[in-house]
Structure 1
Amino acid sequence: MKVKIMKNNKLWMEDNAIRQLESIADFKGVESIVGLPDLHMGKQPVGCTICTQQFIYPFLIGNDIGCGVTLYETQEKIRKIKVERLVRKLENTGIYGKYSIGGGNHFIELTAIDKVYNQDLANQLGIDTKKAYLLIHSGSRAIGESIYREYASLEGLEEASERFNSYIEEHDKAIAYARDNRNHLADIFTQMANIKSDNRIVIDCIHNYLEMVDGKYYHRKGSISSLSHTYAIIAGTRGSSSYIVKTIPRNDELYSVSHGCGRKIMRSECKGKLQSKYKRDELKRTSLGSYVISKDKALLYEEATEAYKRIDDVIETLLQYKCIEIIATLKPMVTYKC
């Protein structure tokens, strides 16, 4: 089958997202497609891997090349952090200039290890349950957008052509910038929050990029490679756990793991559907007791937990397909989106 959708009866899956993914199957050079459990609609399908030969499609990677999630270890003990005081300190701040978080579902999150499922693997990663951690989801910002505008053609780029080579060069620069952006954001935030940290990277995994393997091109949009990443972070919503996992490479799933929950309600519909259920200020505190700091009022509705699929359903599906092993879960303390 050219298009494979990873799902089960419990997981909510949008029919339009599946149709959008299937519409790509007839593109020149497309060999196989996998829709991950977090698949949802966007300008291009999100939560998928598309394998091609001879042709690549920058449009399918999107405008945030190199977007990923990095987990940093701080030197701050959880018991010493006064969360409410920290929230008051951060509410009137913002990160501007060359390095920035970005909009949408991008964030900086102060988080804690909630539960360890595999102590041996946790030890290999150097995980300390007494320390606070920093989780950062961000990408290549304006650089990725400019590359997208230049190369986003549905016609695709033929292997070894001048346009192909120039895109690959720009693509690789964007990935490097996105990593650099996350590292600088970690430094800026820990200084701003007065959190002791050398920002040791525990896990760094990207999910928007083109991966080249054995002469084939794996277009990853919201898809983590189990070939390139032994360990991964699967991000939950701001009101649910995130998962630290060990990936299991599987050819049938194009060596792919979900990057997050996957959107369930379109951004344009969130406020209309949720404002009768929640007052805006209620969305600043989650059911886990964590805080969300955002100056964008509409974003609080767009990023509400109910706007996304259940992270546990996504994880259960990945386990069913034998794509991951759970190492630990992370519980958010403060999510910063300014």
Structure 2
Amino acid sequence: MSHQKRLQRAFARAHIDLRYEDGIYTVRNESAQATILLPASLPLEEKAVHQLLAFASVKTPQGDPAVCAACATPDFHPGTIAPVGSVVATPKSVVIPAAIGTDINCGMRLLTTGLSLAQVAPQQSVLIGRLKSVLLENARNVPTPTQAFKALFDAGPLAFLERLAPEGVWAGANRDRLMEEVARCVGLDQLGGESRHAPASFTSGREVIRDPCLGTPGAGNHFVELQVVEQILDRHAAYEVGLRTGDVVIMIHSGSRDLGFHVGARWMDRAREAWLPGIKHPESRLYALAGPLAGEYLQAMGVAARYAWANRVVLAEMVRQEFAGLFGADESRLVVDVPHNVVLTEQDVNVHRKGATPAHAGQFALIPGSMGDSSYVVRGLGHEDWLRSCSHGAGRRIRRQEVRRMAPADGRDQDWQCVTLREERRIEEAPHAYKPIGPVIEAQTEAGLIEGVARLRPWTTFKA
């Protein structure tokens, strides 16, 4: 019996109708339906489907449907609560905090270096040592005024940059360049924020703080990776952002760290507490917020999302400065900074993306593979059926717990290099734990979600 037939029988027992045509699954139950873009070569996971339909079925405390549309991209796989690769739209007056969880604005940042691999490779060991020190061994120096954090949360990124003192990492930062690069950060201008939603330590007390999380990649699938531009797929688009074959680029994947956990966990609790007395709680334990509380959540989420942007800025500046110290002049430039786990108001609905990326027409996006597979720079095509989104990566094929139980296979790491202080990270994030990136990109290209700009191959990956 084929995998699809087995799935159909399993879902039928759970009263879920499953259809598959031209690379698209349609799943529905008595409460909701969703579509999933997934090539036949990649498995559809039953748990992820149940999670997606649970989110598509969420109602407000008044019993009104909270979800207008639900879909998933090809990196679709189960998450803790929401499936990774899911995109859910709600009315503007409704949000579902658990839809994006606690790693708010986990996202990616890509910078060119202006240097070719031929120029960088002779200094590889020295460069790795310097980057390991600042990225993994706590050698960073990021003194940040509390007034800068307050400005970030209340007014936004430009106000944050204006209030930084030229000390530590900020002394070597090109302030004008950073302010210009804000415009290349997708969705950043749509985020609100109020400092009252942040922990008090960020906005009161000492004049300057050294936040232990600012400038750290975090655990799990987060990384800082040196990559090489392997192939240009759209020479005009690549020229626009300074991508050249053979050049070294810097890809950063990190989020809002402890501040995001503070905001996300608090508001998932508040959504549950706001459920009306006397009304049965949903079996899924998924709660929507409606009205003024929804607006409050978006402000709180914006605080964490702006912090995640600042975290990626610091990571990028530290890498830029190590490159400049070793190779001289800094000709790097930002290609794009893209968010994953955020809610953005688009076309009169709130679009919740969990492990998915905005892909509006003409907008650049980043889709990484694994430490042993290619990453892609793409441009969105604004496909309405997929809520103007694309995948945020290849997607896990094997859960971390399973990978840890598997005996390491000899030779698996011959073609990839991971610099880490934790051997378990190398095991959990090994390339074989992820889906191949090729089918993920092909499915989205053929379905009209994206068009390719450049293919990048990993050179050296840093993981905390």
Which of residues 315, 338, 341 is equivalent to 1:205?
A: 338
1:222 aligns with 2:355: yes
Which position in structure 2 is the counterpart of 1:11?
42
Provide, for residues 53-86 of structure 1, a one-character-per-residue CA deviation record: whole Å limited to 9, x for no partner. Answer: 2421111111111111111111333212233443
Which of residues 87, 92, 98 is equivalent to 2:128?
A: 87
Where in structure 2 are the equivalents of 1:1-40 lying within 5 Å? 2-28=33-59, 29-40=66-77
Displacement of 1:13 in angstroms is: 2.6
Question: CA contact under 8 A between 1:87 and 1:291: conserved in structure 2?
Answer: no
Unpaired runs of 5+ in structure 1?
none
Q: Percent identity at matched positions?
A: 31
Residue 252 of structure 1 aligns to a residue whose secondary structure is helix
Which position in structure 1 is the counterpart of 2:3?
none
Provide, for residues 178-226 of structure 1, a one-character-per-residue CA deviation record: whole Å limited to 9, x for no partner. Answer: 1111111011123346455354111111111001123211110111112
Residue 244 of structure 1 aligns to a residue whose secondary structure is strand
Which position in structure 1 is the counterpart of 2:288?
156
TM-score where L is the length of structure 1: 0.91
Letter in 2 for 1:71: L
Which of residues 296, 307, 311 is equivalent to 2:433?
A: 307
Where in structure 2 are the equivalents of 1:91-170 lying within 5 Å? 94=136, 96=138, 97=212, 98-152=214-268, 153=271, 154-159=286-291, 161=292, 163-170=293-300
Relative to its length, the structure with more strand (as a share) is: 1
Question: CA contact under 8 A between 1:34 and 1:48: conserved in structure 2?
Answer: yes
Question: CA contact under 8 A between 1:186 and 1:199: conserved in structure 2?
Answer: no
Residue 104 of structure 1 aligns to a residue whose secondary structure is coil
Question: CA contact under 8 A between 1:187 and 1:199: conserved in structure 2?
Answer: no
Question: CA contact under 8 A between 2:74 and 2:391: conserved in structure 1?
Answer: yes
1:60 aligns with 2:110: no
Distance 1:21 1:39, change over 3 A: same
Unpaired runs of 5+ in structure 2?
1-25, 27-32, 60-65, 139-211, 272-285
Which position in structure 1 is the counterpart of 2:417?
291
Which position in structure 2 is the counterpart of 1:317?
443
Residue 334 of structure 2 aligns to a residue whose secondary structure is strand
Residue 23 of structure 1 aligns to a residue whose secondary structure is helix
Question: CA contact under 8 A between 1:241 and 1:332: conserved in structure 2?
Answer: yes
Question: CA contact under 8 A between 2:48 and 2:76: conserved in structure 1?
Answer: yes
Question: CA contact under 8 A between 2:39 and 2:439: conserved in structure 1?
Answer: no
Displacement of 1:92 in angstroms is: 5.8
Residue 259 of structure 2 aligns to a residue whose secondary structure is helix
Residue 68 of structure 2 aligns to a residue whose secondary structure is strand
Question: CA contact under 8 A between 1:64 and 1:208: conserved in structure 2?
Answer: yes
* Mean CA deviation greater in 199-208 or 221-230: 221-230
How far apart, in 1, do the equivalents of 2:299 and 2:326 lie?
Answer: 37
Distance 1:146 1:183, change over 3 A: same
How far apart, in 1, do the equivalents of 2:297 and 2:137 lie?
Answer: 30
Distance 1:198 1:102, change over 3 A: farther
The number of equivalent residue pairs is: 329
Letter in 2 for 1:226: A
Displacement of 1:274 in angstroms is: 4.2
1:70 aligns with 2:103: no
How far apart, in 1, do the equivalents of 2:111 and 2:414 lie?
Answer: 23
Which of residues 320, 329, 340 is equivalent to 1:190?
A: 320
Residue 404 of structure 2 aligns to a residue whose secondary structure is helix
Structure 1 runs (4+) greater than 6 angstroms displaced: none
Residue 102 of structure 2 aligns to a residue whose secondary structure is coil
Relative to its length, the structure with more helix (as a share) is: 2
Greater Cα radius of gyration, structure 1 or 2: 2
Which position in structure 1 is the counterpart of 2:380?
247
Which position in structure 2 is the counterpart of 1:50?
88
Residue 232 of structure 1 aligns to a residue whose secondary structure is strand
How far apart, in 1, do the equivalents of 2:414 and 2:262 lie?
Answer: 36
Letter in 1 for 2:313: N
Which position in structure 2 is the counterpart of 1:41?
78
How far apart, in 2, do the equivalents of 1:195 and 1:243 lie?
Answer: 27
How far apart, in 2, do the equivalents of 1:199 and 1:178 lie?
Answer: 21
RMSD (Å), alpha carbons: 2.0
How far apart, in 2, do the equivalents of 1:304 and 1:230 lie?
Answer: 30
Which of residues 304, 309, 312 is equivalent to 1:174?
A: 304
Name the structure, 1 or 2, with higher relative contact order (CA <8 Å, separation 6+): 1
How far apart, in 2, do the equivalents of 1:131 and 1:121 lie?
Answer: 16
TM-score where L is the length of structure 2: 0.67
